[in-house]
Amino acid sequence: MTRFVVNRVAGMLLVLFLVCLFTYMVFFLLSPDPAVQICGKNCTPERIDQIRENLGLTDPFLTQFWNFLSGLFAGRTYGGGIECAAPCLGYSFQTSQLVTDMIVQRLPVTAVVAIGAAVLWLLMGVIGGLLSAVQEGKFADKFIAGLTLGGMSVPNYVLALALQYVFVVWLQVLPFSQAVPFADDPVQWFLNFILPWSVLAIGYAASYTRLTRANVIDTLNENFVRTAKAKGLRPDLVWRRHALRPALTPIVTIAGMDFAGLLGGALITETVFGINGVGKLAADSITKNDQPVIMGVTLLAAFFVVVGNMVVDLLYSVIDPRVKAGAPA
Amino acid sequence: MMASVLALSACSGGSSGGGSTSGAGGEAPVKGGTVEVLQTSDFSYLDPTRGWDGGVNSFYRLVYRTLVAKAPNDAADPNAMVPDLAESLGQASEDGLTWTYKIKQGVKFDTGAPITSKDVKFGISRSWDPEIGIGSPYMKQLIDAPDDYEGPYKSGDLETIETPDDQTIVFHLKAPFPEFDAALSQPSATPFPEGTGEGDEFINDIVASGPYDLEKFTPGSLVQLKRNAEWDESTDEIRKAYPDAWKFTIGVDGATIDERLIAQQGSDINTMTSAPTLQTATIARVQTPQLQERLIKNPSTCLTYMGMNTTKAPLDDVKVRQAIEFAVNKSSVLNATGGTQFATMASTIIPSTVSGHTGFDLYPSADGSGDVEKAKALLAEAGQADGFELTLDIRATPAMQRQGEAVQESLARVGIDVKLNVIDTSTYYETIGTTSQQNDMAITGWCPDWNSSASTFIPPLFDGRNIYDKGNSNLAQLNDEAVNKAIDAAKAETDVEAANAAWGALDEQIMQLAPIVPLNVENRLYLPGENVGGVITPSGDIDYTIIGLKDPSKS
């Protein structure tokens, strides 16, 4: 087990390092000169040179990359005495803020979005899948299959705008989202999240429904279930003890990874509903070409996905004792 | 400051009534209540030495005062410069190098401390700090300072600005600048108490001198203002400061903003937006009489134009450029921009909203659709009757690309084959501003830094001594001795009226050389909530300081 964890952590670090290197290269080689962007209107060549000096853009690529990497672990100081404590993800010269601060400020909101959506889609997906499996081939099954097809094929941005139009503008059962902290107005705060949660959950729930249905039907056809039934076990115990557990194990794996991915920000949903989370930060930074922030968010998302994967692997061995962590396959 | 280079999108400013369709927005507001402003994106900076774009400049007027400021939007001449913290406009010395101002008694910061000449000097000296002075560059450009001066935190006191007593401040300029009053209206001339604002102190908090102070600030989400109890109404002839509070909600999707302003649910009657224009899809929906009554539309101060690189053959021939002036179908370019709601056709460099504008059209045609015959004749005279190829740089936005296609079709009529070179939005201005990378022509825009004259319009675009390898604004690379001389003469004119007459004449003189094709001036459209009054925008920009609620008891 220990060796397994050590191996996984080493692999994780390697992946993150490669992500770092790759994103840094992309921004270093392909992006416009940040000095010119910052210089703006009424710019003179002397001013560009001065800005470039301040940003450390005159250093060679490897030096800049090394500064970035060491900043992640040891922190760094930017020209002008701006202290950036570890883990220093960089400094946004367009907003004069530390990237780490900008992300940390927005992470709780994104976490709320991700947690709420995950709860919703797991409930919807698992219940829908079970219903389908039980009613296999009957009306309910076909009806749910139709719904999931719809849920999977409507893009997020269409669904978001459509739901907003129906529930907020037309039926007026929900208010337009307002920027309120939880402590000031918990009701409005909660109402703000209903639509984003639903939009994300509908998209994900569709695939979870199908997966659950397929897994449960497969499991119900397994020999050990037939044996359990044959020996006269009560149907509810057959379900609970024998069918559900193996059927739901893969769901946990996928849920963990989807959830981890969402923590990196839901760009479209957050933008449409004006949620000031990591996804909106990324979307705004891309339009402004604020490279340090784009890089910071990319790294964070990669970090969550990699860590999420590892957690799922570890959990897997807990849920399903047949899977021994680290044992040869 | 980032935003001001993106001239077309940056001059977001305010709302305004007045003009052609001044509706309910112009009705008189009264004291009290909260006005909510919805915006898609954050203000660039709360720190006025750092921030410098249309949107944030309008905001600064609520929380900061300067020695001189632009007159309120409801004034007889809304472009004029009027005293704000100063008792009167500046007194210039005979040689134009020394400017003296007296500061009003009783003006205070939100801390309760009086605003003295030392605070004005301190605030202005922040412009020299390499990290902080990234906004309006005028202080550094105009005021004399030691070569190695790097702001008050690194280099200490700036000795070239004199403060003989708390009320008097004396500036020494590098060269005469008759519009120094206008320069002092720039955000980077905001006073701050000595010793404050170091490093990132003003990123999340401020020291207010205007009628409002920061109550709450959540980056990317919310800016809330409350009254500044230390602001004394009797010292301020510009700001009415009607509402008790302001709430700027950031990060609202553009379509949602329009939807809320149309639907007017609940407290949305007290809502407006700072976004410069409505979404294209919304325009069709605001044609009902009720909405037309609320809609406020005026041309901005920003010109959209096509620059022609006069260093490249055959555009180095003035006849060829004049032929292109005649050939371009400005009417179809206008349609590509979004039609008459979104923009107004232009024939001059200086927009009608900027002082100094004179109405003329050297290259007239019916409905602005172009004069193909005249264009062909000029091309024949230039020996280019057989046509040629040109490359037009275009920013990768749908509207810009449609504009490029309209130009392409126009010029095809006279045998000029235009290739469109579409450049990513993030690198567009950098590319066309790098002389080695720019092609034959480019469509771009320009907004002046103040509207009281064309001195920030003509020189950056047409002064032949301002051609830079990088960050170049003189896209035509026009370097005409007569124009350069006339620019110097207009800049040296100390009488505002005479200077504006000179800029107007220069506009025509330059257009004869045809370095750019003025295409159109963008309109600014606003749909303030039913209960919001004082939205008057003679030049397209919002003036929050005269906006308020008509009936604060409604919400």
Distance CA B60, CA B214 (A): 11
Question: How big is the CA angle at A131 (ends A130 and A132), to the nearest 5 degrees?
Answer: 90
Q: Where are the beta strands (DSSP E) in A111-178?
A: none
Indicate yes or no: CB of A31 within 8 angstroms of CB of B249.
Answer: no
Residue with tokens 């250093």: A59
Indicate yes or no: CB of A80 within 8 angstroms of CB of B199.
Answer: yes
B208-223: pLDDT as tens digits: 999 999 999 988 889 9
Domain ranges of chain A: 2-84, 99-319
User: What tens-digit pLDDT sequence spans chain A (329 residues)?
Assistant: 678 778 888 888 899 899 889 888 887 777 667 777 666 666 667 777 777 776 777 788 888 888 888 888 888 887 666 788 888 888 887 777 889 999 998 999 999 999 999 999 999 999 999 899 888 889 989 999 898 888 888 888 899 889 988 998 888 888 887 767 788 788 888 888 999 999 999 989 988 999 999 988 888 888 888 888 888 888 888 887 777 878 888 888 888 889 988 988 888 888 888 888 999 999 888 877 788 898 899 999 999 998 888 888 877 777 776 665 545 44
Distance CA A200, CA A121 (A): 8
Indicate yes or no: CB of B131 within 8 angstroms of CB of A79.
Answer: yes
What is the pTM for the complete model shown?
Answer: 0.83
- What is the ipTM for the molecules in this complex? 0.71
What residues are paired with B304 via a beta bridge? B445, B520
Distance CA B249, CA A276 (A): 11
Distance CA B533, CA B548 (A): 5
Q: Which residues contact B368 (CB under 8 A, 6 or more apart)?
A: B329, B330, B331, B334, B345
**How close, in Å, is residue B454 to chain A by CA atoms?**
15
- For A269, the closest chain B residue by CA position comes to B253
**How close, in Å, is residue A64 to chain B by CA atoms?**
19
Going from the C-alpha of A142 to that of each of A147, A285, B53, the distances in angstroms are: 9, 43, 57
Residues of A whose CB is below 8 A from B4: 40-41
Q: Does A162 touch chain B (CB under 8 A)?
A: no
Fold of A99-319: MetI-like fold (1.10.3720)
Residues B282, B223, B13, B499, Cα dihedral to 10°: 180
Q: Which residues contact B128 (CB under 8 A, 6 or more apart)?
A: B139, B140, B145, B149, B150, B151, B155, B158
Indicate yes or no: CB of A41 within 8 angstroms of CB of B7.
Answer: yes
Indicate yes or no: CB of A274 within 8 angstroms of CB of B218.
Answer: no
pLDDT for the residue numbered A79: 65
**How close, in Å, is residue A13 to chain B by CA atoms?**
32
Distance CA B547, CA B216 (A): 21
Distance CA B548, CA B246 (A): 10
Of A37, A81, A164, the CB nearest to B2: A37
Residues of A whose CB is below 8 A from B444: none
